[in-house]
């Protein structure tokens, strides 16, 4: 197992290397000139040229890339064109915000999704199951920005019980405040994912509930709730973990729309604003880190299999 772990970590290096080339190249190829973005449309050609020289934008592409890679390897992600702040610092703050929101949304969507999926599978013909089915369809169909806006309108404007816009409040400073401010973005983020998880868990549970070993558990006299929540769910979670892993990755890097709607200072909105302002250094750093996080999450999911399923042996 240790061998496997070392091998997988070692595999991260070439993966990230390839990812870095792809990221850098894509961003380099984006239309638009950062010099203009920084100095504005009224800058003179000489000023633009001088800035480009300063930023090293006139060098051939491979040299720019290698230069960047070398600096990144030393931990120097450069300076944001727009703000002048070190990129790492900028990303760092945003990352914490996103991780906080993403983790909370992940936990919520997992709890809701698994519970709904189990209920729908344990009593397939009941009213509850049909409601879960309706919930799944609804969450799949609702675009997140629309849902977000609706929630803001309902709770923030009409009912006035929750703040309409949210900022980032670290949970360790003010838990209650964090919750007030995060409920709506969490609900928006989690709705789509909880629907996916519920559907997945329901299908896996239906499969498992017909298995021979579930029949054995009932034949032993095990009470039905324990049969469902312990014997069956443990097995149904095995394929579900994959889906959960992918969703977690999506929360970290993909919450762009939700962050936009709620004006939440996370990685997603950082990426969005950097694209608009052609802030290449920030973009490159942010995306590289998101890719690294995603890969690590995938590794974590694979390792989780070995923990959950005794039949899985690595190495």
Partner 1 sequence: MSRTLPTAAEAGDAAQPREALLDVQDLEKHYPVTAGVLRRVVGHVRAVDGVSFSLAPAETLALVGESGCGKSTLGRTLIRLLDPTAGRITFRGMDVTHIGGRELQRYRRRIQMVFQDPYSSLNPRLSARQSVAEPLRIHHLYDRATERRRTDELLERVGIPLQDADRLSGQFSGGQRQRIAIARALALEPDVLVLDEPVAALDVSTQAQIINLLRDLQHDLGLAYVFISHDLAVVRQVAHRVAVMYLGKIVETGRAQDVYDRPSHPYVKALLSAVPISDPALRGRRQRIILRGDVPNPADPPSGCRFRTRCWKAQDVCAEDIPALVERGSGHPVACYFPESVLEDRLA
Partner 2 sequence: MAAATETPTLAVRDLHVGFPTRRGLFAAVDGVSFDVRPGETLGVVGESGSGKSLSMLAVLGLLPPGPAWITSGQALLNGRDLLRMQGEDLRRVRGGQVAMIFQNPTSSLNPVFSIGDQVGEAIRVHQTGLNRAAVRERVLRLLELVGIPEPRRRIEQYPHEFSGGMAQRVMIAMALANSPSLLIADEPTTALDVTIQAQILEVLRNALQELRTSLVLITHNLSLVAELADRVVVMYAGSVVETATVSELFHHPRHPYTVGLMRSVPSLEQQTERLVQIPGQQPSPASRPSGCPFHPRCYLFQQRQPCVEQTPPLDATDQPAHLAACHFWPEVETTAVPA
Binding site for partner 1 (CB under 8 A): 3-4, 7, 314-315
Window of 93-101, 111-119, 170-178, 305-313 that interacts with partner 2 by CB under 8 A: 305-313
Q: How far is the CB of 312 from partner 1 (least distance, A)?
A: 14
Distance CA 253, CA 251 (A): 6
| Other CB atoms within 10 A of residue 152 CB | 21
Residue 63 binds: one of partner 2, partner 1, none (C-beta under 5 to 8 A by kind): none
Nearest in space to 86 (alpha carbons), one of 100, 74, 97, 98: 74
> Taking CB under 8 A as the rule, does residue 212 contact partner 2?
yes
Question: Exposed (0-12), middle (13-18) or buried (19+): which is 239, by Cβ within 10 Å?
Answer: middle
In the chain, count H helices and then E strands.
14, 0
Site string for partner 2, 166-205 (x = CB under 8 A): ----------------------------------------
Nearer to partner 1 by C-beta: 160 or 311? 311
Residue 4 binds: one of partner 1, partner 2, none (C-beta under 5 to 8 A by kind): partner 1
> Taking CB under 8 A as the rule, does residue 213 contact partner 2?
yes
Nearer to partner 2 by C-beta: 54 or 216? 216
> Taking CB under 8 A as the rule, does residue 310 contact partner 2?
yes
Q: How far is the CB of 7 from partner 1 (least distance, A)?
A: 5
- Structure-token pair, residue 22: 């792809």
Q: How far is the CB of 120 from partner 1 (least distance, A)?
A: 30
Distance CA 302, CA 315 (A): 13
Of 18, 70, 146, 215, which lies in the binding site for partner 2, with binding defined by CB under 8 A?
215
Q: Any idea which residue has 């070190």 for tokens? A: 86
Distance CA 38, CA 81 (A): 7
Are 81 and 278 in contact by the 8 Å Cβ rule? The answer is yes
Residue 130 binds: one of partner 1, partner 2, none (C-beta under 5 to 8 A by kind): none
Of 21, 63, 85, 223, which lies in the binding site for partner 2, with binding defined by CB under 8 A?
223
Q: What are 79's strand-pairing partners?
A: 86
Nearest in space to 148 (alpha carbons), one of 178, 185, 115: 185
Which residues would be at the binding site for partner 2 (CB under 8 A)?
209-213, 215-224, 231, 234-235, 238, 308-311
């Amino acid at each position: 197992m240790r061998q496997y772990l070392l091998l997988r970590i070692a595999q991260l290096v070439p993966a990230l290397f390839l990812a870095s080339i792809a990221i850098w190249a894509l961003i380099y190829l984006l239309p638009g000139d950062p010099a203009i973005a920084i100095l504005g449309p009224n800058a003179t050609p000489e000023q633009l040229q001088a800035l480009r020289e300063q930023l090293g934008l006139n060098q051939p592409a491979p040299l720019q890339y290698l230069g960047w890679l070398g600096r990144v390897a030393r931990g120097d992600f450069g300076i944001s064109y727009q703000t002048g702040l070190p990129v790492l610092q900028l990303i760092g703050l945003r990352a914490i915000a996103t991780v906080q929101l993403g983790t909370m949304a992940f936990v919520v969507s997992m709890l809701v999704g698994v519970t709904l999926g189990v209920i729908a599978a344990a009593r397939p013909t009941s009213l509850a199951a049909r409601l879960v089915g309706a919930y799944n369809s609804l969450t799949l169909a609702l675009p997140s920005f629309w849902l977000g806006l609706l929630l803001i309108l309902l709770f923030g404007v009409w009912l006035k019980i929750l703040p309409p816009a949210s900022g980032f409040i670290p949970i360790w400073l003010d838990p209650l405040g964090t919750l007030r401010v995060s409920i709506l973005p969490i609900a928006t983020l989690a709705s789509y994912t909880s629907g996916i998880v519920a559907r997945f868990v329901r299908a896996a549970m239906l499969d498992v509930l017909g298995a021979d070993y579930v029949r054995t558990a009932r034949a032993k006299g095990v009470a039905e709730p324990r049969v469902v929540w312990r014997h069956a769910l443990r097995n149904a979670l095995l394929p579900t973990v994959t889906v959960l892993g992918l969703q977690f990755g999506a929360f970290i890097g993909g919450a762009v729309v939700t962050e936009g709607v709620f004006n939440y200072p996370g990685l997603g909105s950082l990426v969005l604003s950097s694209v608009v302002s052609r802030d290449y250094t920030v973009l490159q750093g942010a995306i590289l880190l998101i890719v690294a996080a995603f890969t690590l999450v995938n590794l974590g999911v694979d390792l989780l299999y070995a923990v959950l399923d005794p039949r899985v042996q690595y190495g």
